[in-house]
Chains A and B, each alone.
Chain A
Amino acid sequence: SYELTQPPSVSVSPGQTATITCSGDKLGDKYACWYQQKPGQSPVLVIYKDSKRPSGIPERFSGSNSGNTATLTISGTQAMDEADYYCQAWDSSNVVFGGGTKLTVL
């Protein structure tokens, strides 16, 4: 079965750029999306189709996908961006989630 691998944790200082990766075999041939989940809340879609932002998502969130890696980039990270982030793709008629990355802003 298809697997997506994320680093368990990433730390970033306020105002700096956070980069979260998601790796999978030939992931660049598929579409990737990203969700943000804060404690006690439902996930929120922040990036879809590799790099598109839903309405209401700040411009500091961006995405890319090439080769075996999709990347979520948060520019000018704010304290409110501290959360768990999950990548997701579609493979062989299955939804696949990455294991999640805890982003700490300190």
Chain B
Amino acid sequence: QLQLQESGPGLVKPSETLSLTCTVSGGSISSSSYYWGWIRQPPGKGLEWIGSIYYSGSTFYNPSLKSRVTMSVDTSKNQFSLKLSSLTAADTAVYYCARQDYSSSGSNFFDYWGQGTLVTVSS
């Protein structure tokens, strides 16, 4: 059974950079047809896609966050990571990592999710 686990700080100061890592177990991050994504959810609000990365390093980013987002992948550790810079209180959210089933036909969906990690931006 595929499992994903987010790790990183729970509290970050404004203007700093958030770094999160997602560790994948029970399967290989190098599997074809799958991207690996980050999604966030501010308290009491809806889901917002941040971006997705393929094991080769190819990425898709949300245009509204693109200037602040960097994603990377480490196939040797079966991990992928997120960096989000210039944080403000509006970035306070539960951050999820998930596996994205990707098809060139346009079918894209997240079939496995991590448990999520709450990140609070505050001084």
Contact = CB atoms under 8 A, between A and B. Distances in A.
Nearest to B51: A95
Interface in B94-123: 96, 100-101, 105-111, 113-116
Interface string A19-50: 00000000000110101000000111100110
Contacts of A45: 109-111
A54 interface: yes
A98 B116 CA distance: 19
A101 B114 CA distance: 22
Interface string B7-35: 00000000000000000000000000000
A95 B111 contact: no
Nearest to B100: A95
Contact of A42 (B37, B49, B96, B107): B96
Nearest to B48: A97
Contact of B113 (A42, A94, A96, A98): A42
Given A42-B114, A45-B111, A54-B111, A97 B106 contact: no
Contacts of A97: 39, 46-49
B107 A96 contact: no
Contacts of B37: 95
Question: Which 6 pairs show the lowest CB-CB distances between chains A and B?
Answer: A95-B49, A90-B108, A33-B109, A42-B113, A31-B107, A100-B46
Interface of A: 1, 30-31, 33, 35, 42-45, 48-49, 54, 86, 88, 90, 93-100
11 contacts: A31-B109, A33-B109, A35-B47, A42-B115, A43-B96, A48-B101, A94-B60, A94-B62, A95-B100, A98-B46, A99-B46
